[in-house]
């Protein structure tokens, strides 16, 4: 390593963010199959278009703020960094196909379009899971050692200004349902106070209301 000394950054929250995205994608069979109600189909489609967008901006933040710093500071790890960061581009086509299937299902939730959507979301999930595993195994330790807590916090929120859908909170709220003790605090440890307050007062209640309709509870 040619970078600075250990920075004392805990990037373990990366794995929690990944778990939220993977968990949300993995719901497709249970939410989509069997629903032909047009109103609920539009809500389900809105759920998945937001999940896919969270994935897009998550990688945008890494592409613009994480991998360039690691590239500069971890010269001996460049082969690995190039390999893992290049995996982001393997997701371009599955993300495009998922967004296309989401739009088609939203306009006509037929059995055929249900199957196409489940297949497209499953393909995206199948492509992203190995990337998440590599990132957690090889990249997270480098982030903890070579990025400052401030740099990591900036990377976590960097993509939010380029979020193009309407529910940026979707996967973190989804994750809330599956967290063990202390993991929620860990997940939010690097986020600004204003974000945490919004999450509690605005996003979490909005999520509960929205998901009741998505799940037809």
- Residue 103 or 133: the one with the smaller Cβ distance to Fe ion is 133
- Residue 85 or 114: the one with the smaller Cβ distance to Fe ion is 85
Minimum distance of Fe ion from residue 167's CB (angstroms):
19
Per-residue binding string, Fe ion, 14-53, x by CB under 5 A, is ----------------------------------------
- Contact at 8 Å (CB) between 48 and 28? yes
DSSP string, 109-160: --HHHHHHHHHHHHHHHHHHHHHHHHIIIIIHHHHHHHS-HHHHHHHHHHGG
Minimum distance of Fe ion from residue 171's CB (angstroms):
12
Placement of tokens 């859908």 in the chain? 165
- Residue 55 or 214: the one with the smaller Cβ distance to Fe ion is 55
Minimum distance of Fe ion from residue 70's CB (angstroms):
12
Could you give the CA distance from residue 43 to residue 30 in angstroms, rounded to a whole number?
Answer: 14
Placement of tokens 């592409």 in the chain? 63
Minimum distance of Fe ion from residue 14's CB (angstroms):
5
- Residue 91 or 106: the one with the smaller Cβ distance to Fe ion is 91
Q: Which of 197, 193, 194 is nearest to 205 (CA)?
A: 197
Per-residue binding string, Fe ion, 121-160, x by CB under 5 A, is --------------x-------------------------
Q: How many residues does the chain have?
A: 217
The gap between the terminal CA atoms of the chain, to the nearest Å, is: 52
Q: Which residues contact 75 (CB under 8 A, 6 or more apart)?
A: 1, 2
- Residue 46 or 50: the one with the smaller Cβ distance to Fe ion is 50
Instruction: List interacting residues with Fe ion (CB under 5 A).
Output: 135
């Amino acid at each position: 390593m040619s970078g600075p000394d250990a920075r004392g950054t805990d990037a373990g929250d990366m794995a929690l963010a990944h778990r939220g995205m993977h968990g949300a994608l993995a719901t497709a069979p249970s939410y989509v199959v069997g629903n032909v109600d047009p109103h609920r189909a539009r809500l389900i489609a809105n759920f998945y278009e937001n999940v896919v967008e969270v994935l897009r901006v998550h990688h945008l933040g890494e592409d613009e703020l994480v991998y360039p710093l690691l590239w500069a500071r971890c010269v001996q790890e460049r082969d690995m960094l190039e390999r893992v960061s290049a995996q982001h581009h393997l997701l371009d086509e599955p993300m495009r196909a998922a967004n296309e299937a989401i739009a088609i299902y939203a306009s006509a939730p037929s059995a055929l379009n249900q199957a196409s959507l489940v297949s497209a979301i499953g393909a995206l999930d199948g492509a992203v899971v190995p990337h998440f595993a590599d990132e957690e195994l090889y990249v997270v330790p480098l982030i903890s050692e070579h990025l400052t807590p401030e740099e990591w916090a900036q990377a976590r929120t960097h993509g939010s200004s380029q979020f193009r859908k309407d529910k940026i909170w979707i996967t973190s709220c989804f994750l809330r349902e599956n967290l063990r003790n202390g993991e929620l605090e860990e997940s939010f440890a690097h986020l600004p106070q204003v974000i945490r307050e919004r999450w509690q007062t605005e996003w979490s209640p909005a999520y509960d209301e929205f998901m009741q309709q998505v799940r037809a509870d």
